[in-house]
A and B are shown apart, each in its own frame.
Chain A
Amino acid sequence: MKIEQAMWLHERHELALEELCELSGLSETELRELVDYGVLAPVDSDARHWSFRADRLVLARSARRLRRDFDLDPHGVALVVTLLERLRDLEDELRDLRARLPGGGAG
């Protein structure tokens, strides 16, 4: 059986604007709106051709799904995605704190 190679969605990889659109299913207009609303930031916003950290694809895909499944307008998507990001950051922090607790916080 052929073994498939997986690619990291990692901050060290970068995706061009067009790639991010294709992979997330967002149109270029939608993606630029997310950038305007401060949800997504290109690596260098002054660059002629924008590129994004590959881990931003997870967020862009969430935005696409939320817009489609909840009929949200761009402001609504921006709000939900921002809150989701905060939730993920808090979960990471919680995981980190649990790891530091003797016994893993299991009591």
Chain B
Amino acid sequence: MKYKDYYGVMGVDRKASAEEIKNAYRKLARKYHPDVSKEKDAEEKFKELGEAYETLKDPEKRAAYDQLGSHRPGQEFQPPPGWERQFGGGSFSFDDLDLGDLFAGITGGMHRAGRRGGKVPIPGEDYEVTAHITLEDAYRGTEVDLELTVPEYDESGFAHRVRRAFKARIPKGATDGQRLRLAGKGGKGLNGGRDGDLYLNIALHPHRLFRASGHDLYLDLPLAPWEAVLGTSVQVPTPGGAVRLKIPPGTHAGRHLRIAGRGLPKPHGGEGDLFAIVQVAVPTVTSERERALFKELAEASTFNPRGHFEQEAAK
């Protein structure tokens, strides 16, 4: 069995009082609770914290834990002789047990005596994972490979961590932040309790061209100054293939040109829209001829883009 340093996880001294342990839990829970935290690995850290607190807040479990001695985290160790008789209520093999599962099983001095060994149905644990998919995957629908480490229980009621791998189909219609539920793919229920569920949180990888907001997509559309002035027709990429877009004369930078139904498909039919955001790209003028033409335009034009500044100053 691998050692876990519960005092280290909670950042408290081995001699900490029950009050100090409770306060440390509250402080760290606010920092790492998956519902309120933005920390990386919050879910993982909160699980570790919960496991440490479950053991240290219970005087009996804490005494049992203290008697295991102090080891390096992750170090293989054996409990002192007689430990399992005193605390575990029986003899069993420690080899591939998880320390947290062992302590979760010690209830009232009898392993599995109450909760898991009894006849009360216990639902399996739910899990949440983030599935990172590309925009193209969201557009077409995709399959993702998932791997979970879930507890399974042996005949004596002890949990063993097993890895489960499976494929899940994400139907088309997904977008950033959307949730899916895979029924019964979480932890196994006990004594007839229902199996837990797996919740998928969809996260889209950033795309080189498109930005998603819900099922609408945004795309920067650079135009040459003369294209913006004179109008033109340009080829615009969309997830479903390129389309031609008419640019009306006098199109200015920042304008949103809507291409209906060319965004991401929605789960229940219909599609979002694609918005092309016009940018006027300024060419790096290199040739004499180009420079001369711009000069000529500057002299011929009466266009004053800052007229409103002058009006403001004259007030």
Binding site for B on A (CB under 8 A): 1-10, 12, 22-23, 25, 55, 57-58, 61-62, 65-66, 69-70, 80, 84, 92, 95-96, 98-100, 102-104
Contacts and interface: CB of A to CB of B under 8 A. Distances in A.
Contacts of B170: 6
A95 B176 contact: yes
B200 A25 contact: no
Given A4-B169, A96-B213, A104-B211, A57 B277 contact: no
B26 to A, nearest CB: 7
Interface stretch (B28-36, B67-75, B81-89, B285-293): B28-36
A6 B211 contact: no
B173 interface: yes
A2 to B, nearest CB: 7
Given A65-B35, A70-B33, A12 B267 contact: yes
A6 B169 contact: yes
B171 interface: yes
A61 B34 CA distance: 12
B279 interface: yes
Nearest to A84: B35
A1 B166 contact: yes
A10 B183 CA distance: 15
Given A8-B267, A25-B123, A96-B214, A102 B178 contact: no
Given A4-B166, A23-B197, A84-B35, A102 B277 contact: yes
A3 B214 CA distance: 26
Contacts of B185: 4
Nearest to B278: A102
B29 to A, nearest CB: 6
B177 A92 contact: yes
Interface string B206-226: 100001111011101000000
Contacts of B218: 99-100, 104
B268 A95 contact: no
B254 interface: yes
A28 B199 CA distance: 22
Nearest to B170: A6
**Chain B CB within 10 Å — which of A4, A57, A100 has the most?**
A4
B167 A12 contact: no
7 contacts: A5-B168, A6-B169, A12-B268, A95-B176, A99-B211, A99-B213, A100-B275
Nearest to A83: B36
A59 to B, nearest CB: 10
A96 B78 CA distance: 55
Contacts of A102: 220, 254, 277, 279
Interface string B265-289: 0011000000101010000000000
Given A3-B169, A4-B166, A10-B268, A98 B200 contact: no
Contact of A9 (B123, B179, B268): B179
Nearest to B34: A65
B50 A7 contact: no
Q: When A and B form their complex, which 10 residue pairs have the shortest distance between CB atoms, in order from nearest?
A: A6-B180, A99-B211, A99-B213, A96-B213, A9-B179, A99-B218, A4-B168, A62-B35, A3-B167, A7-B181
B182 interface: yes
B2 interface: no
B126 interface: yes
Given A4-B168, A6-B181, A8-B173, A103 B220 contact: yes
Contacts of B123: 25
A24 to B, nearest CB: 9
B29 A69 contact: yes
B143 interface: yes
B160 interface: no
